[in-house]
Amino acid sequence: MQADRKTRKRRRLRLGNAVNATLVLALGFITMVGLLSPADSMTGLTADVFLQLVGVLAAVAVLVGVLNLLLVHLGRLPRVRKGGFYSLVVILSAVAVAVVHVLDRSKSWGGDLEGQKVGPRLFGVIQVTLESALAGMVFFFLVYATYRLMRHRVTWANLVFLAAVLIVLIGWLPLKGLDGAQDVRDWLMEVPVSAGARGLLIGIGLGTVTVGVRVLLGRERAYREP
């Protein structure tokens, strides 16, 4: 009896997989053909509608994400635990951003701020500054990573990597007498680095195509039950 139920459940799941795969295959092909057709053609317009639906879905997902984030942090507040203070900061920041946005939209600012948008200015002052400061540290992390790389394993690839890092760094030094290093740096950037980057990007493009084909064949996990 239980075995029968399990078999029926499995069949139902397979039917679900078939429906999902058919939907994805049909919608995927229509969108792909539409994107390659003129914008005012029937397939072009249909693809446009599908893409707009994706935009709406993404907007709803952002809303769900924000609610989820607030719920997670609100849940952490009553318990006195590590990181509780940061949760409070997140919640207060979210409320402050919402309030500032409402005030921006209703043009309620007075004095020097009259007629101005405070939200983007706050974003520039806080977020961009913080991100720039953090980005400045990436350089030091990378130099340390190169040192560690050589400490763990010395291979030809690692030696080439180290040599490239050194030449590029020396090439950027604004000192007289380093014209040779600057020429080598320019050649490195224009020839091998550019060729390698193109090779990587072509490979990634081909990989994307094969994953796309797998999606169109209905073999991806995203819409298939185990």
Partner 1 sequence: MANENTYFWLIITLAFVMTVLGGTISSRRRKLPTLRHIPGYDAMPRAVDESIESDRRVHLSPGSAAVGQTSTLTAIAATSIIYALTERQSFLNRSPLVTLTDPVTMAMTNDILRKAYMARENLTAYRSRVVSWFPQGHNSVAFGAGAAIRAKNMDTSSHIMVGEFGPELAFIGESSVRNRQGFIAASTSLEGQAIAYAQSEAPLIGEEIFVGSAYLEPQSATFAGGVIALDVLRWAIIIAIIIAALVNA
Q: Which residues make up the interface to partner 1 (CB under 8 A)?
A: 32, 36, 54-55, 57-58, 61-62, 64-66, 68-69, 72, 82-83, 127, 130-131, 134-135, 137-138, 141-142, 144-146, 148-149, 152, 161, 197, 199-204, 206-217, 219-222, 225-226
Nearer to partner 1, 23 or 209 (CB): 209
CB 14 within 8 A of CB 24: no
Minimum distance from residue 3 beta carbon to partner 1 (Å): 15
DSSP state letters, 112-157: GGTT--HHHHHHIIIIIHHHHHHHHHHHHHHHHHHHHHHHH---HH
Half-sphere exposure of 106 (CA within 13 A, CB side): 8
CB 71 within 8 A of CB 57: no
Nearer to partner 1, 74 or 113 (CB): 74
Minimum distance from residue 135 beta carbon to partner 1 (Å): 5
Nearer to partner 1, 95 or 209 (CB): 209
Nearer to partner 1, 44 or 109 (CB): 44
